């Protein structure tokens, strides 16, 4: 029986599309250049390309390759500013899921590989969902901060977060359900023998080669929770 649900923050319960576009548009505006189109960003993200790769291609196209470092610096500054979180949106139907778990007294924990945990906490409070989570875990809570752009680092972060939660909760991994949205999330869950549900995202690479339980929206997630947790 599942007694604990762990939800990943980024692109699992949140819609990152607007924030991601603004993280291209605003730095480009500051540099006096046109940003890549939303269509170009979207198609590139579906191929699994990083912001550096997308912008490198765009700058080469407009003859401004020398501005890549300046763009990346301004992008980091934008994303490090708490005001950037105003562009992050909560996915539809997340609150009914959280309400259901709270009513059924199923412990729900949030985790994130983000470096700035205060920004996430402010987002939760602003959207009035902080009270639904038993607790939250962030990279800083592990005692180290590493670059989460590198895939191997993301696997390390997620695995370490899940290990810490299992240790702190004194729970059998088989009684845990982890909901994430990437192959790194799956790899971390598999290493620790945790049940896993993969949230597909039209904006990101769907990684269709993975043989896993998939859901495409929060209504589907609610059904999976009812099947796996509340049966």
Q: Would you write out the chain's pLDDT as a tens digit for each of its 231 residues?
A: 888 999 999 889 999 999 999 999 999 999 999 999 999 999 998 888 889 999 999 999 999 999 999 999 999 999 999 899 999 999 989 999 999 999 989 999 999 988 888 999 999 999 999 999 999 999 888 888 888 778 888 899 999 999 999 999 999 999 999 999 888 999 999 999 999 999 987 666 666 666 678 888 888 888 888 887 776
Residues making up the chain, counted from first to last? 231
Give pLDDT, residue 210.
65
CA 61 to chain centre: 30
Give pLDDT, residue 231.
65
Q: Name residue 89's beta-bridge partners.
A: 15
Give pLDDT, residue 215.
82
d(CA 8, CA 150): 18
Q: Name residue 8's beta-bridge partners.
A: 111
> In sequence order, what are the residues at sequence separation of 6 or more whose Cβ sits closer than 8 angstroms to the Cβ of residue 27?
71, 74, 75, 77, 78
* CB count in 10 Å sphere of residue 86: 13
- Greatest CA span in the chain, whole angstroms? 59
Dihedral of alpha carbons 64, 48, 127, 123, sign: negative
> In sequence order, what are the residues at sequence separation of 6 or more whose Cβ sits closer than 8 angstroms to the Cβ of residue 160?
142
d(CA 207, CA 202): 11
Give pLDDT, residue 149.
78
Cβ proximity of 50 and 20 under 8 Å:
no
Residue whose C-alpha is closest to residue 91's, from 219, 229, 223: 219
Give pLDDT, residue 96.
93
Give pLDDT, residue 222.
87
Please state the pTM of the whole predicted model. Answer: 0.88
Give pLDDT, residue 64.
96
């Amino acid at each position: 029986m599942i007694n604990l649900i762990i939800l990943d923050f980024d692109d699992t319960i949140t819609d990152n599309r607007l924030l991601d576009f603004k993280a291209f548009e605003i730095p480009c505006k500051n540099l006096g250049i046109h940003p890549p189109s939303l269509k170009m960003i979207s198609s590139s993200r579906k191929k699994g390309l990083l912001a550096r790769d997308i912008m490198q291609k765009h700058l080469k196209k407009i003859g401004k390759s020398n501005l890549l470092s300046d763009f990346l610096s301004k992008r980091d500054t934008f994303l490090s500013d708490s005001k950037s979180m105003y562009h992050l949106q909560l996915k539809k139907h997340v609150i009914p899921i959280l309400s259901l778990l709270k009513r059924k007294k199923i412990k729900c924990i949030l985790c994130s590989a983000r470096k700035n945990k205060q920004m996430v906490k402010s987002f939760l409070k602003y959207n009035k969902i902080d009270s639904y989570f038993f607790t939250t875990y962030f990279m800083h809570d592990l005692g180290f901060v590493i670059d989460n752009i590198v895939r191997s680092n993301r696997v390390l972060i997620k695995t370490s977060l899940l290990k810490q939660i299992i240790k702190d909760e004194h729970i059998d991994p088989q009684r845990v359900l982890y909901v994430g949205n990437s192959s790194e999330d799956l790899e971390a869950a598999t290493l620790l023998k945790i049940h896993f549900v993969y949230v597909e995202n039209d904006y990101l690479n769907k990684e269709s080669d993975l043989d896993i339980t998939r859901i495409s929206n929060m209504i589907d997630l609610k059904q999976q929770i009812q099947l796996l947790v509340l049966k």
